[in-house]
Chain A
Amino acid sequence: MSGDFGSVIGPVAPEIILCVLGLLLLVAGMFLPAHRKATIIFWTCLVGLGTALCSCVMVLAAIALSPEPLQMPNWLGATLRVDEFALVLKILINLATILTILISPEYIQHRLTAGRSEYFPLVVFAALGMTLLVSATDLITIYVAMELTSLVSYVLVGYMKRDPKSTEAGMKYFLVGAASSAIMLYGMSLTYGMTGATDLASIRRAIAELGSPEPMVLVGLILMVAGFGFKLAAAPFHMWAPEAYEGGPTPIVALISVGPKMAGIAVLLHVLEIGFPEIRDHWSALIAAIAAISMVLGNLTAIPQKNIKRMLAYSSIGQIGYILIGVASLPQSMNDWRTSGIIVYLLVYAFMNIGAFAVVTAVSNAGLSDDIEDYRGLAQSSPLLAVALLVFLASLAGLPPTAGLWGKALIFGAAIYSGFTWLAVVGVACSVVSVFYYFNVVRVMFFLKATTPHTFRNTHLLTAGIIIAITGTLFIGVYPEPFIAMARVGQDIVAAR
């Protein structure tokens, strides 16, 4: 046993904290007195997630400040790699989970008839799966962590048992998810058959030894990318998203529209950049095609939607298209904007998308439905919510002075730099189209009169969540430099190590 306790578990401290927190909350749910249970579990969860967030920051600081590369404890083997890129994403995932937790209590109080005390531990397990995914560099770890995230998501989407829509959403999400896992596993087994290895670095060496790329290697990669595409809800693998978003509990939809996307992008980058850099030309074209289809299909289908959660589902399919442009671009060593583009976009996306769903949660807590029609006159009945939604939608559309602008600017810059000018053109055109449906909601909120006035009495927690999200969206919008610089810290994502 070499080194002290800190260096043995240090790099995976965030995962260990999340794991212990989840188990603790499960046990606490059984023994706490019924009248105090909800409060204690909520605050423990919040403090625990905060601790996990701080531990991510500390590990990141340790890596960034130490002159030599961080020594990984050898019990980890090749299954996990903790680098700056992974840690920045872990911070984002913990942040997204904290925001989700903040907007949850009132909603679950109103809507859930069962499993209130299991809700928080399950959310923590989902966060654990995602933080593991962003570090995973071994096909088996990727698969297990992805299943952890997905299984918890299926359960949480179908959590409102009284609501047939929620049950249907959970069922559809589960069936499509299970089929996509099978496709991904088939791809992994073909890759293993061709390379004889499950860790990405060895896979790369084996492919380099094969010389000219065998078609079977490509088939394995395509099937794996299809599996990841399902988890990312990128077109043409997006069919489950509208139903799952419409039927699921809104705070959970906020989480699954952001968290698994971050984790999925990290997995995609790790697999492609560590495992398959030899056949970059092939996968780059593949990802570019998926990006283009997602952008066009997501943004065009969002236009006729009548339900705001469905609209946000299609919008998030479009958003993942923009982020995939960054994945298709040239690596950071040749292209200064790629990694910062992806990280800044994901950061911004976490704030604006969770923010938008937080407003949807607040509106449905007031007894209104999720139909865009019901947002009539929101500006009069609750100016805070209306202005907040305006900011988030403007940011999703990429308008200044919100943060969405910078994410898009960096990503499109990276695309042009990599010779994907056509993708950048498609992206800009889709952004213009997106203004149309985002601002349709704004028109309804500000310029139409409400039929019946509603009173909004939101808890401080929900308001705090919305205010954090607005602050993030606007602050990054007017002063993006530190975040772009922070993203540069992790710029050598996977500089061929």
Chain B
Amino acid sequence: MDWHTCSFYVLSVMILGSALMVVSLRNIVHCALFLAFTFMGVAGVFALLHAEFLAAVQVLIYVGAITVLILFAVMLTQKTIGISLKQTNRLAPLAVLSAVTFLCMIAVIALNTTFPTSGQHTVAVSTQTIGSAILGNGSYVVPFEVASILLLAAMVGAIVIARGQDN
């Protein structure tokens, strides 16, 4: 096993382990911290695949912004720090059972599938490639622009839900 495969497995354990912690711990601050570890692991996978730009963005946005935002929200919300939250209800065993069944099914199918790979070495993804994929001719201009409307609409919606009455 070369170092590449080895680090992939290490990262996978890190991602899955901390993701499990996120959904099972009882202290919301600990959950948020483990979420940061999950995101770091994903950034590591991106780096392994030579998507350095994505890895940097992943750290900046997910670890830097989203987790910190969650921690701020926890800090500003009263009565959430220090109390023990139960993340499961009485249907938890059923949920675990169906998730494991699904996992087994996917695993069996995935092991019997040959994914078509290009055989080439990983293409170096530069910011330039990403830029022209988003804004170049015949590319993803439409979804890129729609995403900005989506974020605007989501923000307006969140403000409407969160603020008080009309004056």
> Cβ of B138 and Cβ of A77 under 8 Å apart?
yes
Bound complex: CA of A277 vs CA of B149, how far in Å?
33
> Cβ of A144 and Cβ of B143 under 8 Å apart?
yes
* A121 contact set on B, CB distance < 8 A: 156
A54 within 8 Å of B by Cβ? Answer: no
> Cβ of B113 and Cβ of A215 under 8 Å apart?
yes
> Cβ of A193 and Cβ of B112 under 8 Å apart?
no
Q: A122-B157, A215-B113 are in contact. Are A140 and B140 (CB under 8 A)?
A: yes
B92 within 8 Å of A by Cβ? Answer: no
> Cβ of A219 and Cβ of B109 under 8 Å apart?
yes
- Please give the distance in Å from A177's CB to the nearest CB on chain B: 13
B147 within 8 Å of A by Cβ? Answer: yes
> Cβ of A193 and Cβ of B138 under 8 Å apart?
no
Task: Map CB proximity to A onto B135-167 as digits: 1 under 8 Å, 0 otherwise.
Answer: 001111111001101101110111011011111
* A318 contact set on B, CB distance < 8 A: none
A5 within 8 Å of B by Cβ? Answer: no
> Cβ of A151 and Cβ of B138 under 8 Å apart?
no
> Cβ of B160 and Cβ of A155 under 8 Å apart?
yes
> Cβ of A75 and Cβ of B137 under 8 Å apart?
yes
- Please give the distance in Å from B62's CB to the nearest CB on chain A: 16
> Cβ of B153 and Cβ of A140 under 8 Å apart?
no
> Cβ of A114 and Cβ of B165 under 8 Å apart?
yes
B contact patch SS: helix
> Cβ of A155 and Cβ of B157 under 8 Å apart?
yes
Q: A151-B154, A152-B157 are in contact. Are A216 and B142 (CB under 8 A)?
A: no
Bound complex: CA of A206 vs CA of B118, how far in Å?
13
* B119 contact set on A, CB distance < 8 A: none
* B116 contact set on A, CB distance < 8 A: 194-196, 206, 210
Partner of B160, one of A114, A193, A206: A114
> Cβ of B153 and Cβ of A122 under 8 Å apart?
yes
Task: Map CB proximity to B onto A147-181 as digits: 1 under 8 Å, 0 otherwise.
Answer: 11001101110110100000000100000000000
A356 within 8 Å of B by Cβ? Answer: no
* B163 contact set on A, CB distance < 8 A: 114
> Cβ of B146 and Cβ of A144 under 8 Å apart?
yes
Bound complex: CA of A317 vs CA of B47, how far in Å?
46
* B139 contact set on A, CB distance < 8 A: 77
> Cβ of B150 and Cβ of A147 under 8 Å apart?
yes
> Cβ of A161 and Cβ of B138 under 8 Å apart?
no
Please count how many residues in chain A sit with their CB below 8 Å of the partner chain's CB atoms.
51
Bound complex: CA of A32 vs CA of B38, how far in Å?
46
Bound complex: CA of A113 vs CA of B165, how far in Å?
5
A132 within 8 Å of B by Cβ? Answer: yes
Partner of B141, one of A34, A77, A219: A77
Task: Map CB proximity to B onto A110-136 as digits: 1 under 8 Å, 0 otherwise.
Answer: 001111111001100100110010000
- Please give the distance in Å from A214's CB to the nearest CB on chain B: 6
Bound complex: CA of A19 vs CA of B152, how far in Å?
11
Please count how many residues in chain B sit with their CB below 8 Å of the partner chain's CB atoms.
32
- Please give the distance in Å from A83's CB to the nearest CB on chain B: 16
Q: A116-B166, A132-B146, A148-B146 are in contact. Are A79 and B141 (CB under 8 A)?
A: yes
B75 within 8 Å of A by Cβ? Answer: no
Closest chain B residue to A143 by CB distance? B143
A74 within 8 Å of B by Cβ? Answer: yes
* B146 contact set on A, CB distance < 8 A: 129, 132, 141, 144-145, 148
A273 within 8 Å of B by Cβ? Answer: no
Q: Which of B106, B139, B156, B163 has the most CB of A within 10 A?
A: B156
A239 within 8 Å of B by Cβ? Answer: no
Partner of A141, one of B113, B143, B149: B143
Closest chain B residue to A145 by CB distance? B146
> Cβ of A215 and Cβ of B156 under 8 Å apart?
no
B115 within 8 Å of A by Cβ? Answer: yes
Closest chain B residue to A142 by CB distance? B143
Partner of A76, one of B109, B142, B158: B142
> Cβ of A141 and Cβ of B142 under 8 Å apart?
yes
* A116 contact set on B, CB distance < 8 A: 166
A13 within 8 Å of B by Cβ? Answer: no
Partner of A148, one of B109, B150, B164: B150
A17 within 8 Å of B by Cβ? Answer: no
A138 within 8 Å of B by Cβ? Answer: yes
- Please give the distance in Å from B60's CB to the nearest CB on chain A: 21
A78 within 8 Å of B by Cβ? Answer: yes
Closest chain A residue to B110 by CB distance? A216
* B137 contact set on A, CB distance < 8 A: 74-75, 77
> Cβ of B141 and Cβ of A75 under 8 Å apart?
yes
Q: A118-B156, A144-B147, A216-B109 are in contact. Are A155 and B141 (CB under 8 A)?
A: no
> Cβ of A128 and Cβ of B166 under 8 Å apart?
no
* A125 contact set on B, CB distance < 8 A: 149, 153
A409 within 8 Å of B by Cβ? Answer: no
> Cβ of A128 and Cβ of B149 under 8 Å apart?
yes
- Please give the distance in Å from A132's CB to the nearest CB on chain B: 6
* B115 contact set on A, CB distance < 8 A: 193-194, 216
Closest chain B residue to A195 by CB distance? B116
Contacting residues of chain B (28-68) with chain A, CB-CB under 8 angstroms = none
* B165 contact set on A, CB distance < 8 A: 113-114
The 8 tightest CB contacts between A and B, nearest first, are A155-B157, A77-B138, A115-B160, A216-B113, A79-B142, A144-B143, A125-B153, A148-B150
